[in-house]
Amino acid sequence: MPIHERLESVYAEVLARNPGETEFHQAVREVLESIGPAVGKHPQYADAKIVSRICEPERQIIFRVPWEDDSGEIHINRGFRMEFNSALGPYKGGLRFHPSVYLGIIKFLGFEQVFKNALTGLPIGGGKGGSDFDPKGKSDREIMRFCQSFMTELHRHIGEYTDVPAGDTGVGSREIGYLFGQYKRITNRYESGVLTGKGLIYGGARVRTEATGYGTAFFVNEMLAARGDSFAGKTVVVSGSGNVAIYAIEKVHQLGGRVVACSDSSGYVVDEKGIDVKLLREVKENRRERISVYADLAKHARYVKGQQVWEVPCDIAMPCATQNEITGKEAEQLIRNGCKVVAEGANMPTTPEAVRLFQEAGVAFGPGKAANAGGVATSALEMQQNASRDSWSFEYTEDRLEDIMRDIHTRCIETAEEYGMPGNYVAGANIAAYTRVADAMLALGLI
């Protein structure tokens, strides 16, 4: 899709200002392409340099993270926190520890987070952070020392009313525990609301662990219902086998679908009986092993090394691994195999070409900033519980999550219709989120 003529110079400026940050360029381009109709109808959405302001992070923090491994060797990683936009609330978004992390990845994730968080309708701005630290193969004590060093710098930038990090790839409840412990020591404050994704015993919320995966499955359920369909009898393929994938699989099964395959970066497993979530959790969460171990333990499953999980035929595809994992090639294969619905559990797992192919083929496509917003939405519910020193039941919290996902779905559908693009979730999500952020910024003066 071409960029609206009033926004062309904004995109050129983003390219010039952020050289080499291709993932960020991709995320910005998608939003700029989508919001053309809103700018055409309501010119104030491109006045007062509002688009340029939204594309420029409010604050970018980059810092050194020195740490010592178990043999006494010293390592230096780079830490980031991208405080992107606080018009709607404190910066909110996860931390990613992965060797692929660099400024462009954190900037793209922070940018996406601004819109995702706006779509939830909850009072949270957008931010993201992380490090190029590779947790793979590290001992528990090395992870702890790294987290402590990371927080020793990060603590001065965050706070309940300022910036509230959580987890993302490579950062789960173990890491959040070490980060929270260090924050508490340094500041001498038991500030529960400074991090989300905490353990239940020290201020965490029920359903937060499951929320991103559950939310994505709820979103697909809404997409199916909008087409007069349901999960019953559907074959589903999920990529990844981390936190998002595990709980997406669990909820798909509860809703009547059958997930026959999931993956990691080395290959995938097929289990025609339906992936056994208990076993998957044992392999990934307890043993911290590769997915091939699942096939060693489940006799009816098979492991396929070095191939893409998208070659497994399915009705519904849920990419829950990482950015740009479905390119044009994989999209063509999915379409050929009869896939009818795709929803992103990960952030930006589908390339622009693949999105275009899905849309042209009539495949319903749910973008991550809508489909995977359940994680951060439940983080906002955790913040609510921390602020009121309360603790909600699993059922109540899950009901709230389901309502939020239903509202996001409705918002996307109604906005897409309003702008003459029925069924286009990408346009609906981007326009609904952008106008909310822009309205808040315009109301707050020149910020």
Least distance from C-beta 197 to ligand GLU, angstroms?
A: 6
Closest approach of ligand GLU to the CB of residue 101, in Å: 13
3-class DSSP assignment, residue 28: helix
Taking CB under 6 A as the binding criterion, the range among 62-70, 135-143, 375-383, 410-418 that sits at the site for ligand GLU is 375-383
Which residue in the set 36, 79, 94, 193 belongs to the binding site for ligand GLU (CB under 6 A)? 94
Set 128, 198, 234, 284: catalytic member: 128
Within residues 109-138, the interface with ligand GLU by CB under 6 A covers: 116
State both tokens at 18: 């952020």
d(CA 284, CA 278): 10
CB of 416 to ligand GLU, least distance (A): 22
Active site (annotated) includes residue 128: yes
Report the residue number, 211 or 314, with the smaller CB distance to ligand GLU: 211
**Contact at 8 Å (CB) between 242 and 352?**
no
**Residues in binding contact with ligand GLU, number by CB under 6 A:** 11
Residue 83 as a binder of ligand GLU (CB under 6 A): the answer is no
Q: Is 229 exposed, middle or buried (0-12, 13-18, 19+ CB in 10 A)?
A: middle
Kindly report the length of the chain.
Answer: 447
* 54-58-61 Cα angle (round to 5): 135
CB distance 79 to 65 below 8 Å: yes
Nearer to ligand GLU, 93 or 319 (CB): 93
Please state, in angstroms and rounded to a whole number, the distance separating the CA atoms of residues 231 and 200. Answer: 31
> Which residues ranging from 394 to 433 are in contact with ligand GLU (CB under 6 A)?
none
Choose which of 4, 53, 81, 92 interacts with ligand GLU (CB under 6 A): 92
Among 77, 85, 347, 424, contact with ligand GLU (rule: CB under 6 A): 347
Q: Are 258 and 274 in contact (CB under 8 A)?
A: yes
- Measuring CA to CA, how many Å separate 283 from each of 226, 235, 254, 278, 363? 36, 23, 21, 9, 33
Least separation in angstroms between CB 93 and ligand GLU: 5
Q: Which 187-226 positions form the footprint of ligand GLU (CB under 6 A)? A: 196
Q: Does 280 bind ligand GLU (CB under 6 A)?
A: no
23 near ligand GLU, rule: CB under 6 A:
no
CA distance 332 to 344: 17
- Site membership for ligand GLU, residue 168 (CB under 6 A): yes
What is the closest distance, in whole angstroms, from the C-beta atom of residue 46 to ligand GLU in the complex?
A: 27
Q: DSSP of 380-444, one letter per residue? A: HHHHHHHHTT----HHHHHHHHHHHHHHHHHHHHHHHHHTT-TT-HHHHHHHHHHHHHHHHHHHT
Our finding on whether 376 is near ligand GLU (CB under 6 A) is yes
Query: In the complex, which residues of this chain contact ligand GLU (CB under 6 A)?
Result: 92-94, 116, 166, 168, 196, 347, 375-376, 379
User: Catalytic residues, which ones?
Assistant: 128
